[in-house]
Amino acid sequence: MSDDQITDPPAAPLSGGPTPSLRRWLAPRLLRWYRLERRDLPWRLDRDPYRIWVSEVMLQQTQVATVIPFFHRFLARFPTLADLAAADEQDVLRLWEGLGYYRRARDLLAAARLVVERHGGILPADEAALEALPGMGRYTRNAVLSQAFDLRLPIVEANVQRVLSRVLGYAEDPRQGPARKRLWDAAEQLLPRRDVGEFNQALMELGALVCTATGPRCGQCPLADRCVAFAQGRQEEIPARAAPPATTLVNESAIVVRREGRVLLVQRPTTAGRWANLWEVPHGVLGAGEDAGTAAIRLARELAGVEVDGPREVATITHGVTRYRITLNCFEADHVGGEFRSTYYAAGEWLTADEVAARPVSAPQRRLAKLLREQGRQGLLF
C-alpha cells in the first residue's frame, strides 16, 4: 500500500502528536505540492547560508512582497557576510529603512561581526554556535540550518503553526506556552529523513498560499484529506485567535528647526527601542492640556536645548506602533538661540538636504521629509 492510500479517519481532534501513518503520508504529499507550486523567490536560488539568513531575518513580521526589493538592495550592497561585518551601522540602518523592526538589522550586523571574529566569516552548521549569536532564536537558527545544511530541525512560525493546528485539530491559541510546545514537538515528529529544508519551506508556503488565516482554499490543499479542521468544518475557527489589544491614542508634536539653510537632526540613543540609533527631528508627547504648538516650542528646548520662534504647523501624520495610534503634529520654526544639548538624544547635527537624505530615519520621519518637499518647502527648509 502506498503512502497516499493510508487513511486515518480524522474524526476528532488529536490529543497527542501525529500518528505514524500521518507521519509517513504527509511529507511526500507536501513536497510534491511544493515542487509544483512554490514561488520563485530570490533566496531560493541556492543554499548559501548567508543569503538564507538575511532573508529569514527580513521576513520576520514582514510580508514576502515587501521583503523582495529590500533583499535585492541589501545583497547588492553587502554580497557576503564579510562585507556586512565590515559595514558601518548607519549604512546598514539606512538600507533597512522602511522594513521596520530595526533591532533586526542591528542584531544582524552584530552577529555578522561575531561570525567573522569566531568562525572566520563562515556561518557554522552548528546549533550551539548559531544560538550564541544576537537575534538568532530557535526559529531563525533552525530555518538557516535546515535550508542551508539540511539538518533535521523543525521550524514553527505563524504559517506553520496555522497549518499544523488545522491538520492536527489543535484548537487552542498556538501562541500560548503549552500549545506552542505541542506544535514544536509535532513539527519535529513530521520531519522527513531528507529534504528537510524543502519540507520546512513547504509548510510555510502552504500557510502563505493556501492555508491562509482567512478564506483558506481547502479545495487546493494537498493535506485536506487528512486535515481534522477541514473534516469538522472548523478551518475558519482553528487555531484560536486572541482578541487584539485595545488601541491607545497618542498625540505628539515634532519640530523642524532651521538655521542658515540647515535643519537640526538628532540621533536617538541605543536604548531607545525599535528606532534606536536612527535620526529624527525632535518630537515627543503632548502634556496634559497642552496644545501642539506650545509643545513644539517646549520639546525643542527640553530635548535639544534650542530656542525657536513662531512655529508654523506644516503637516499632520498618523501612524501605528504596536497597539498605539499616533497623531504627529509637525511644525517648522527658525532657530533663535541655544546650541544642541540633550540628556536624551545621543547627538545632534545641522544638516543640508542631501545629508538628511543619507541618514537612516523612521518611516514617519521620512514621510515628514517627503511631505515638506512636496509642499514646495525645500527652499525654506534648506
Which residues are designated catalytic? 56
List, in sequence order, every residue forming a beta bridge with 255; answer none if it has no partner.
331
Q: Which three cell numbers stand for residue 80?
A: 557576503
Q: Express the helix, strand and coil content of the chain in percent, nearest 5 each.
A: 50, 15, 35
* Phi/psi-derived region of residue 311, left when phi > 0, alpha when psi is between -120 and 50, beta in every other case: beta
Q: In whole angstroms, what separates CA 144 from the centre of its chain?
A: 17
Q: Which three cell numbers stand for residue 283?
A: 518630537
Helix (H, G, I), strand (E, B) or coil at 19: coil
State the alpha helices, DSSP H only, in the chain: 20-37, 49-59, 64-77, 81-85, 89-96, 103-119, 127-131, 138-149, 158-168, 177-189, 196-209, 228-231, 292-304, 353-358, 363-374, 378-381
Q: Which long-range contacts (CB under 8 A, 24 or more apart) does 218-224 make?
A: 222/29, 222/30, 222/32, 222/33, 223/26, 223/29, 223/30, 223/163, 223/167
